[in-house]
Amino acid sequence: MTAQIQPAERPLRVGICGSGITTVHIKGYQKVAGVEVVAIAGPDVERCRKLAERYGIPRVLADYHDMLALGLDAVSIAVPNAFHAPIAVDALAAGCHVLCEKPLAATAADATRMVEAARESDRMLMVAFNRRYLPTSLALKRLVDAGTLGPIYHASATWLRRGGIPGFGRWFTTKTLSGGGALVDVGVHILDLALHMMGYPEPVSVSGSTYAQFGPRRKGLMSYGGPIDDLAAATFDVEDFAAGFVRFVDGATLVVESSWAAHQGQSESVVLTLYGRDGGARLTHSGGEPHTLRVFTDGDGQFVETAPAIADDSTTSDYDREVAAFVGAIRAGTPPPAPAEQGLVVMRIIDAVYRSAETGRQIDLSSAGESEEAVA
Which residue ranges make up the site for ligand NAD (CB under 6 A)? 17-21, 42-44, 47, 64, 78-81, 83, 101-102, 128, 130, 185
> Measuring CA to CA, how many Å separate 265 from each of 163, 185, 268, 270?
11, 21, 9, 12
Please work out, in degrees rounded to the nearest 5, the angle formed at the alpha carbon of residue 149 by the alpha carbons of 188 and 342. 30
- Compute the least distance from the CB of residue 4 to ligand NAD, in Å: 27
- Compute the least distance from the CB of residue 263 to ligand NAD, in Å: 25
Q: How far apart are CA 85 and CA 114, in angstroms?
A: 6
**Pick the catalytic residue: 27, 50, 102, 219?**
102
What residue ranges in the chain does DSSP mark as E strands? 12-17, 35-41, 59-61, 74-77, 97-101, 125-128, 152-161, 203-211, 241-248, 253-259, 268-276, 280-284, 292-299, 302-306, 361-364, 371-374
Q: Which is nearer to ligand NAD, 205 or 284 (CB)?
A: 284
Q: Which is nearer to ligand NAD, 18 or 201 (CB)?
A: 18
b/e per residue 292-326 (b: at least 16 CB within 10 A)? ebebbbeeeeeeeeeeeebeeeeeebbbbbbbbbb
* Catalytic site includes residue 31: no
Q: Which is nearer to ligand NAD, 21 or 32 (CB)?
A: 21
Q: Which is nearer to ligand NAD, 44 or 53 (CB)?
A: 44
Give the residue numbers marked as catalytic: 102
